[in-house]
Chains A and B, each alone.
Chain A
């Protein structure tokens, strides 16, 4: 079995495609409880937790495109970065309200996804994949050139954000930022859960499974995918806006190929197509990055590489069986 086949298998697991109908509120509730417990027990790591929540939101958006709709993309950072720049520029030039800024980030991500998706979604497979990279590179290049708006290579900074709801000031420890990011993540997860478990979500998963079949059932395939991609763009834009607002800086790295690739790695780590896998993958990757990079800042990617190889090469059932046998042998 070659590498592409293995990767494809990880991105299209049978259980990920088979429609299930757990209550849409279960996963968001679990995420909320875990998030709140983490924020309470680890207040000194609030900024790390904020990063976990924002990254999880980005990977959640990627899961919608890759895991649910089968649109393998390596340009998702463009949607995230556009949301980040839009929220940052809005805070700097118009008004610093965080929720309005978040709305602007959502709109910017959705708009770019709609505009680029109208072109990209006419293609499939590797052509689509390569074109997503091209679109992200064009956006990155535009951000680099538009120095007056984006700050170019120096990044966008110098903006502040008003207290959330006029009451909660973004403190230096980042506790308000963490809770804000968690709230947006949980709401997004709930909304996407409903979307995926609806007739619309079923049709999109059907397109992922077999386009020809869905077209024969009368599904307007292109239109359904364009809507889905626009929603994914809105969620990535929200993640970008949160990143801008909670760090008060937007760099060109928010549009980079590396971010798109890392997000895809996180999705593979957690398991594509379930939405919750995106949360798991983002959490594991971000914590691993944080821990391994603090131990060895030069070779931390080595650990991620090994983990990724294990996830791709070892079937989950085999891994569980091995774990169970180890636990059984230990007791």
Chain B
């Protein structure tokens, strides 16, 4: 299997707080890797370093063999990385379809174009509609994202990430704050992710983690506590003690 993402000896401190301690792992094509750990374990900080929001103090991040450690977020997106956020991060007043089109414009590197109107790209509009249909959001095409239910906003986040045609997808707590009723649609969306995509998911819902992940990485106090298959993690006494409880 091709390695898509390789994280090597990543280290990060916020003053006296050591939030990432010598973390190394890799993510292969088609793999579903869950990143779990107690609150404050440094999961989101790690995701932020991988996506380029934060710069690590030391260590390296390779995307498809390319060292992207010093690259900005834009460079990492171009290298094939997309992410969603723990707290929904959308353009609140943009209609849903416009927002998807924006991601498509960015993917096709059209946002330097300053003459042709945004409605004169029919192929991208069709692709945006197809993406909306895939996520069951077609009827909300003209709705500003702030007027959507929270679960649907999470779906828009996922649609935006997929619009970029990534090879590595970082999902930061996709189920956080989603009411039970909307959970099924999100689970279906997760199941329908392209097979070849490498997915790193941060999630607290253990039922989802053990159902979705092919591998689990456990983080505690910024360091890797365990890395293995769901079965190995389930039986690991260190994990049980630190996170799952006895």
Contact = CB atoms under 8 A, between A and B. Distances in A.
Interface in B12-41: none
A93 B243 CA distance: 77
A210 B51 contact: no
Contact of B94 (A18, A200, A201): A18
Interface in A197-242: 197-203, 205-206, 209-210, 212-220, 224
A195 interface: yes
Interface string B183-213: 0000000000000000000000000000000
A210 B110 CA distance: 19
Interface string B69-110: 000111001100011010001111111001101110111001
B134 to A, nearest CB: 18
Given A17-B94, A213-B90, A218 B114 contact: no
B235 interface: no
B138 to A, nearest CB: 19
Contacts of A195: 114-115
Nearest to A231: B114
B117 A215 contact: no
Given A217-B77, A218-B74, A224-B111, A17 B116 contact: no
Contact of A217 (B106, B116, B121): B106
B141 interface: no
Contact of A198 (B98, B107, B116): B116
- Indicate the size class of the contact surface on chain A: 20 to 34
A109 B93 CA distance: 32
Contacts, number: 108
A200 B121 CA distance: 13
A14 B93 contact: yes
A191 to B, nearest CB: 9
B139 interface: no
A213 B74 CA distance: 11
A200 B112 contact: yes
Contacts of B113: 198-200
B111 A202 contact: yes
Given A198-B113, A199-B111, A206 B78 contact: no
A24 interface: yes
Nearest to B81: A218
A214 B116 CA distance: 21
A91 B30 CA distance: 67
A279 B167 CA distance: 47
B217 interface: no
Contact of A194 (B53, B74, B83, B115): B115
B102 A218 contact: no
5 contacts: A18-B95, A19-B98, A197-B117, A214-B91, A216-B160
A224 B160 CA distance: 20
B159 to A, nearest CB: 12
A21 interface: yes
Interface size classification for chain B: 35 or more
A202 B164 contact: no
Interface of B: 51, 53, 72-74, 77-78, 82-83, 85, 89-95, 98-99, 101-103, 105-107, 110-119, 121, 144, 160, 164
Nearest to B84: A216
A233 to B, nearest CB: 16
Given A18-B94, A218-B78, A212 B112 contact: no
A89 to B, nearest CB: 30
Given A199-B111, A203-B102, A212 B117 contact: no
Contacts of A224: 111
B161 to A, nearest CB: 8
Contact of A219 (B74, B115, B121, B160): B74
B142 to A, nearest CB: 10
Contact of A215 (B73, B78, B103): B73
A251 B111 CA distance: 39
Interface in A132-184: none
Q: Of residues A199, A210, A213, which shows the largest number of chain B Cβ atoms within 10 Å of its Cβ? A: A199
A219 B106 contact: yes
B111 A219 contact: yes
Given A194-B117, A205-B94, 18 more contacts: A18-B98, A194-B114, A198-B114, A198-B117, A199-B110, A199-B114, A200-B111, A202-B98, A203-B105, A203-B106, A203-B111, A210-B92, A214-B91, A215-B73, A217-B106, A218-B74, A220-B72, A224-B111
